[in-house]
Amino acid sequence: MEGAIRDNGVHLAAVRKSFGAVDVIRGVDMDIRKGEFAVFVGPSGCGKSTLLRMIAGLEETSSGTIRIGDRDVTHEDPARRGVAMVFQSYALYPHLSVYENMAFSLRLARRPKPEIDEKVRAAADILQLGAQLDKKPAQLSGGQRQRVAIGRAIVRAPDLFLFDEPLSNLDAELRVQMRLELARLHKALGATMIYVTHDQVEAMTLADTIFVLQGGHVQQSGSPLDLYDNPSNRFVAGFIGSPS
């Protein structure tokens, strides 16, 4: 890898996580390629969020290793991992404008003003928020608010985006629109993205690779078509097969 373009793929080997006596993640191996859109699906409580939080460094890994590119980040500080996470509940600062919400982390990092301005405007451009920059969150639609939340992640130019059910609070119509925007964003940024969802249509349309998690393991992984053609168990068949 030395001298090569920075690899920001994500590689998990024998990763485990217990909370007290409860084994939540029981040995997960996965390789997510640089630039790939990976989707985690699985029943509620199977550990999707825990796994994402471990990759982000927000949760300790009990054993095993996590690499981002060629760096072992298993015990690395979250702030050093080059990762941005977007959650389901996108708490924006209500008293701050869209611009200031997006600029927030850059101001904390004491970036120079012109750099902040350039990054915020570039992100607003990508997310079609250019006309909303002076508005407060309360003046925005749900979809625009979720775009601001994504904008806060983009300005930090992460190597890796982690999304934990980011659209589940939106109504069906907005979810469709945001799904298209996420696909467009992935193309535009070329970043590696890992996306947790309950929504089968999101998984099928966004994923390069779907990882089906169940019982603390990866039950199956493959392209949407692989899983559709050759589901390894009932859960996979049910998830892929039945319309929601």
Give residues in contact with Mg ion (CB under 5 A): 49
* 170 vs 212, beta carbon nearer ligand ADP: 212
Q: How far is the CB of 43 from ligand ADP (least distance, A)?
A: 7
> Which one, of 70, 66, 82, 67, lies nearest residue 4 by Cα?
70
Report the nearest approach of ligand ADP to the CB of residue 83 (Å).
17
Cα 228 to the center of its chain, rounded Å = 23
- 57 binding partner (options Mg ion, ligand ADP, none; Cβ < 5 to 8 Å by kind): none
Task: For ligand ADP, give the closer residue by CB, 133 or 210.
Answer: 210
Nearest-angstrom CA–CA distance, 244 and 240? 10
Both structure tokens of 203: 């998984």
Query: Which CB, 197 or 209, lies closer to Mg ion?
Result: 197
DSSP, collapsed to helix, strand or coil, labels residue 170 as: coil
Which of 206, 213, 182 has its CA nearest to residue 50? 213
- At its nearest, how many Å lie between ligand ADP and the CB of residue 82? 22
Tell me whether residue 47 or residue 231 sits nearer to ligand ADP (CB atom).
47
Kindly tell me which of 90 and 99 has the beta carbon lying closer to ligand ADP: 90
Q: Do 48 and 112 meet the contact criterion of CB atoms below 8 Å apart?
A: no
| Partner touching 93 among ligand ADP, Mg ion, none, CB below 5 to 8 Å by kind | none
- The two tokens of residue 129 are 């928020």
Terminus-to-terminus CA distance in the chain, angstroms?
43
CA dist 227 and 41 (Å) reads 12
The residue assigned the tokens 């939340």 is 149
Q: Which residues bind ligand ADP (CB under 6 A)?
A: 19, 24, 42, 44-50
CB of 66 to ligand ADP, least distance (A): 16
* 60 or 70: CB nearest ligand ADP: 60
Nearest to 205, CA basis, from 233, 178, 238: 178
The residue at minimum Cβ distance from Mg ion is 49
Backbone φ and ψ of 171, nearest 5° = -75, 170
Which of ligand ADP, Mg ion, none is residue 46 near (CB under 5 to 8 Å by kind)? ligand ADP
